[in-house]
Structure formats: C-alpha cells, structure tokens
C-alpha cells in the first residue's frame, strides 16, 4: 500500500501531448513486484573481485575489496587476499600486480566467505559490470548476496548517453574522479563508490518530471538497479525540489541563409592564405605541412565554384583534399550567402569532416562574416517525438522498452540535435528505435503538435540545414533528395561529392529495378 501511495505522488510528466496517467494495471504490476520493499536500503557496499580469469566456474578469486557506505560517509572497509589454490596466469599477474607470493599464505575462500556475507548483508551492491561479472562469480562460489545491484555501467548508460565506453576507467575520467591504482580490488571498489555518488547527483539534477517518469517506468521492471531512480526521486521529492520541470528545446534557430544581391567570386589567393594560416596554428592542425598538390586542388575548386563549372578531381590519400575543398566552399558560401552540400559515402569520412576538418576550418576562417556548418541525416536517424509520446502512453512496457524509453527521455534533456548517433543505440535496442524514429512518420501540422510547437527534432535538423553554409550528407540522402524532387535537402548552389566512386553503387540501389 505504501508503494502505491508513493507512486501516485510521482509528478505526471508534461511533454507536449498531455500528461501521462498511470493506469491501474501498471500500479497493480508495480505493487506485485515491490510489495514490502517500500523501505529502500540506503546503505551500499561497493565490491570488487580480482580473479584468476573470467570464467566463474573454473577460475578462482584472488582478492576481495569492499567499502560499506552511505551517501554521507564511509562506514567500513573490507580487504583481503584469497588463496585461489590454482596458478595465476602471467597476463593476470601483469594486469593486477597480484603474484603467487601474495596469495600463498592468504586464507582460502571458505574461510573469508562468512565475513564477506556478513559485510554485504542487507546492502545494495555497487560495482562496475557487477551484474555481468562479480555477481555470477559470487554465485558460483556460493557466497550469498542481495539481489539489488547498482551497476555503474548500466546506470551510466542511462544517465550519460553517448559515451563510447562505460567501464570504470572511462567513467572516472569522464566524471573527473581521481583514478588510483586500477585492477586492484579495494581501489576499484573505491572508484565505484565515487562513481555511484556522482551518478546519484546526476540523477538528482534531472528535471523532476523526467526523474519521476523514469522512476515510474523502471521500478516495476526486473532490472537489478530498478530502484535507483525511485530512491533518487523520493529524496528529491522530500527535499521539495519536485517542482522543476523539463521542456523540450525551443531555442531560437538561426535565420535561413539570404543570398547576396551580387555574386562575389573568391580570390584563390584568399583561399590559399586561409589554408596557409594553419602553419601558425599547431593547436588546430598539429600535422599541417604545405603540400603543392593540396594547393593545386584548392585553386581548382575555387575556380570551379567561381565559374560554376564541373570539376573532376582525383587526389591521392594524404594530400589533405578535404581542406582543399572545404576552405574554398566555406569562403564562397559565406561571401554569397549560398549553400554548398558535401556528400560522402562512409561514416568514417563524415565523422572526420564533422569531428575534425570542419572544426579546424572554423578555427582558420577569418572571424568576420559568420559561418555555419551542419550534418543532415536520413529520417531514421531522428527521434519522432509523436511516436515517443505514444510509447510513453503505453500501459505495459516491456523491461527493454522501459529501459530505452528512460534512456531516450534523459537524452532529450541533453540533446541539441535529436540524432541517434548521440545515443549509441545497441543492436538489442535497434528494434525499439525503429518504432520510434521519424522514418515513415506521418508528419503534418494537423496530427503532430510538435510541428506547431517547433520542437520536432527532424524539423529542427532541417531548419538548421536551411541556415547552414555547408551541409554534410551521405550519398543515400543526396540521391533520395533527387528522387523526391529536392524536398529533403534545403536548396543548394554547389555540390561536392567526395568518395564519388561509391555514388554509382548507391544510385543503382536507389534507382534500379
Ligand atoms: S513532425 Fe513527423 S517526425 Fe516530427 S514529431 Fe511529428 S510525426 Fe514525428
């Protein structure tokens, strides 16, 4: 009964489309799983095991480190070597620094197991990849433990969408936590403790309606960390901060480009000077060196843009062809208020352009005159808010749906673009994403309040492209735009096709029978 009261206290979220009401079936399901668990454990034990290998059945524990703590203080530490009664492989010795001499006189596991069980009893277990490694190892060795696990890897995946790595080392680095020795049990347990405290703080800083929605989604699931968000929500609500709420981004977008009244050609010397300025900017292009082939390519591209003729350019790898076309394209576009589309075939080149070359270009361009570049992708890369809202209204989400819905909702508080690449959708989440993306969505102002409000992420991506001098796309989107009579990309004046040897293949795929 207590749980029902608490759940009913959760603020109903207020994304456009109206607040979500929790139906009785959801509440009943919630009560069934959480009955009698209303008094949440608030004492944690971060625990780490060092072992002879990764197999819980055949490998053995060599060291156990654990820290009992609350949010305010450390209550105790537990640390011991364990005699594994089997050899420690060389590579494990190199990794952990634990050698046979360290463990030969240590107690065997059956001697330390009762102390471990007593230390962790009644506490929420905390660790990095605890669900995937430490818990199965403890189970295989017959050490009794609680079922509630705050795995920092899973929780960070929800709270910090888009990181390339959720391991302990990566998280401590990202969160600015000092990294002590790594792959030693007590040091790793200490880092896991600090990471958890940082994640609790991150969760508490979420807008209250987002936090309450995530808590309502996850608490009824079977995830071992299902109570994490509910615990934070209860603290936030008790602290009186539950009034903060989240609104989808409606920040003003830049104005669409306005073509200049008179066409202004770009002096090739001006373009060469911008490129040459990289000589004095090792912070921008540390490896920069002047290359005659790059300068020749830059001159040819500048003249082609000035005269509006076609140019076929073949350049060997390593001459810096991206900057050879980006510099004149940027100068030409901003001098004339025009737009240049750059189309590529591979994700690698798109990432190189958007992550490295275009930021370098922006740093080299003279500051006056303004310049904006963006990447535009196909519809399947953007979240459809209308579909997401429909998912939120579903009464019975599966556990995997609750997890990705929570991830997306938290991500929505952070994203500027709505681009799925920021979320790093896993293969297991792909099927749910396909139901939520804008591909095939029925977009019009009559049935989508997000169009009227200007919050639709796809629409905002297109509006950003309408304001950009340089738009990076892939061949598939370029050809799709051609097939749809130019209704996908904003109008453009010049087109640069990089990796053009892949264009025929994509054209055959799109236009072939
Ligand atoms: S306009 Fe289209 S993509 Fe955007 S929210 Fe509406 S249905 Fe989804």
Whole-number Cα distances in Å, 368 to 25, 274, 363, 381, 421: 60, 13, 12, 33, 32
Q: What is the mean pLDDT of residues 303-313?
A: 95
Q: What is the pLDDT of residue 14?
A: 42
Q: What is the pLDDT of residue 85?
A: 96
pLDDT band at 83 (very low <50, low <70, confident <90, very high): very high
Residue 40 pLDDT > 80, yes or no?
no
Among 21-25, 182-186, 282-286, name the one with the lowest average pLDDT: 21-25
Apex 22 CA angle, 16 and 27, nearest 5: 160
Residue 379 pLDDT > 50, yes or no?
yes
Any ligand 1 atom below 6 A from CB of 456: yes
pLDDT single digits (tens) 453-482: 888 999 999 999 999 999 999 999 999 999
Residue 228 pLDDT > 80, yes or no?
yes
Q: What is the pLDDT of residue 247?
A: 66
What is the atom index within ligand 1 of the atom nearest the CA of 451?
1
427 DSSP 8-state letter: G
Q: What is the pLDDT of residue 250?
A: 63
pLDDT single digits (tens) 394-407: 888 999 999 999 99
Residue 27 pLDDT > 50, yes or no?
no
Tokens of 493: 């004046």
Among 63-77, 102-116, 167-181, 193-207, name the one with the lowest average pLDDT: 167-181
**Cα 444 to ligand 1 centre (Å):** 7
Any ligand 1 atom below 6 A from CB of 376: no
Among 221-225, 364-368, 408-412, name the one with the lowest average pLDDT: 364-368
Any ligand 1 atom below 6 A from CB of 386: yes
Any ligand 1 atom below 6 A from CB of 276: no
436-464 in b/e form (b: 16+ CB < 10 A) is: bbbbebebeeeebbbbeeebbbbbbbbbb
- Hey, what CATH class is 44-204 in? alpha beta
Residue 20 pLDDT > 70, yes or no?
no
Q: Which residues contact 272 (CB under 8 A, 6 or more apart)?
A: 295, 298, 299
pLDDT band at 11 (very low <50, low <70, confident <90, very high): very low
436 DSSP 8-state letter: H
Residue 381 pLDDT > 90, yes or no?
yes
pLDDT band at 329 (very low <50, low <70, confident <90, very high): very high
Q: What is the pLDDT of residue 318?
A: 83
Q: Which residues contact 264 (CB under 8 A, 6 or more apart)?
A: 335, 336
Q: What is the DSSP string of 107-122?
A: PBHHHHHHHHHHHHTT
- Could you state, in order of their start, the residue ranges of all structural domains in the chain? 2-34, 44-204, 268-372+468-511, 379-460
- Count how many residues are written for the chain: 513
Q: What is the mean pLDDT of residues 229-254?
A: 76
Residue 5 pLDDT > 50, yes or no?
no
Residue 513 pLDDT > 50, yes or no?
yes
Q: What is the pLDDT of residue 98?
A: 95
Any ligand 1 atom below 6 A from CB of 458: yes
Q: What is the pLDDT of residue 3?
A: 28
Q: What is the pLDDT of residue 13?
A: 41
Any ligand 1 atom below 6 A from CB of 216: no
pLDDT band at 74 (very low <50, low <70, confident <90, very high): very high
The strands making up 149-151's β-sheet, listed across from edge to edge, are: 74-81, 61-69, 44-51, 124-127, 149-151
Q: What is the pLDDT of residue 241?
A: 63
Residue 17 pLDDT > 80, yes or no?
no
Q: What is the pLDDT of residue 31?
A: 34
For domain 268-372+468-511, give the fold: Rossmann fold (3.40.50)
Q: What is the pLDDT of residue 448?
A: 76
Any ligand 1 atom below 6 A from CB of 248: no
Q: What is the pLDDT of residue 445?
A: 64
Give the residue, by CA position, lying nearest to ligand 1 atom 2: 443
Give the residue, by CA position, lying nearest to ligand 1 atom 4: 456
| Distance of alpha carbon 69 from alpha carbon 76, whole angstroms | 7
User: Can you tell me whether residue 78 is helix, strand or coil?
Assistant: strand
Place of tokens 């140019």: 311
**Cα 213 to ligand 1 centre (Å):** 22
**Cα 442 to ligand 1 centre (Å):** 7
Any ligand 1 atom below 6 A from CB of 301: no
Q: What is the pLDDT of residue 480?
A: 92
Place of tokens 């070359």: 357
pLDDT band at 148 (very low <50, low <70, confident <90, very high): very high
Any ligand 1 atom below 6 A from CB of 450: yes
């Amino acid at each position: 009964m207590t749980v029902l009261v608490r759940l009913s206290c959760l603020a109903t979220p207020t994304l456009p489309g109206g607040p979500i009401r929790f139906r009785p079936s959801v509440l009943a399901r919630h009560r069934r799983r959480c009955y009698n668990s209303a008094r949440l454990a608030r004492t944690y034990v971060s625990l780490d095991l060092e072992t002879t290998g990764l197999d819980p059945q055949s490998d053995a524990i060599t060291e156990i480190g654990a820290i009992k703590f609350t949010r305010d203080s450390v209550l105790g530490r537990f640390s011991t070597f364990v005699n594994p009664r089997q050899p420690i492989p060389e590579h494990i010795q190199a990794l952990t620094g634990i050698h046979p001499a360290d463990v030969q006189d240590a107690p065997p596991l059956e001697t330390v197991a009762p102390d471990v069980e007593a230390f962790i009893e009644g506490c929420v277990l905390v660790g990095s990849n605890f669900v995937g490694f430490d818990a199965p190892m403890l189970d295989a060795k017959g050490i009794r433990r609680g079922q509630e696990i705050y795995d920092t890897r899973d929780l960070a995946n929800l709270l910090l969408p888009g990181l390339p790595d959720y391991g302990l080392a990566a998280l401590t680095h990202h969160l600015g936590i000092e990294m002590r020795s790594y792959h030693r049990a007590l040091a790793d347990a200490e880092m896991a403790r600090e990471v958890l405290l940082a994640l609790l703080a991150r969760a508490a800083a979420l807008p209250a309606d987002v936090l309450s929605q995530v808590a309502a989604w996850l608490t009824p699931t079977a995830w071992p960390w299902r109570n994490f968000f509910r615990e934070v929500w209860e603290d936030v609500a008790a602290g009186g901060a539950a009034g903060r709420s989240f609104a989808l981004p409606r920040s003003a977008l830049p104005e669409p480009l306005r073509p200049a009244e008179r066409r202004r050609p770009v002096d090739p010397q001006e373009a060469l000077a911008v490129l040459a300025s990289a000589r004095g900017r090792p912070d921008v292009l540390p490896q920069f060196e002047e290359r005659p082939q790059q300068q020749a390519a830059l001159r040819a591209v500048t003249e082609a843009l000035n005269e509006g003729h076609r140019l076929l350019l073949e350049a060997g790898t390593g001459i810096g062809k991206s900057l050879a076309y980006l510099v004149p394209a940027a100068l030409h576009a901003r001098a004339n208020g025009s737009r240049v589309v750059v189309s590529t075939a591979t994700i690698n080149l798109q990432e190189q352009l958007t992550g490295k070359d275009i930021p370098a270009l922006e740093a080299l361009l003279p500051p006056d005159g303004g310049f904006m570049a963006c990447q535009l992708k196909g519809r399947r890369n953007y979240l459809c808010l209308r579909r997401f809202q429909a998912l939120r209204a579903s009464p019975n989400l599966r556990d995997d749906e609750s997890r990705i819905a929570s991830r997306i909702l938290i991500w929505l508080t952070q994203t500027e673009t709505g681009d799925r690449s920021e979320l790093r959708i896993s293969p297991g989440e792909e099927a749910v994403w396909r139901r939520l993306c804008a591909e095939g969505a029925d977009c019009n102002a009559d049935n989508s309040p997000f169009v009227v409000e200007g919050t639709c992420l796809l629409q905002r991506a297109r509006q950003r492209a309408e304001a950009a001098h340089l738009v990076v796309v892939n061949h598939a989107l370029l050809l799709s735009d051609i097939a749809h009579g130019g209704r996908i990309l904003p109008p453009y004046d010049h087109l640069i096709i990089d990796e053009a040897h892949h264009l025929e293949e994509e054209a055959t795929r799109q236009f072939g029978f």
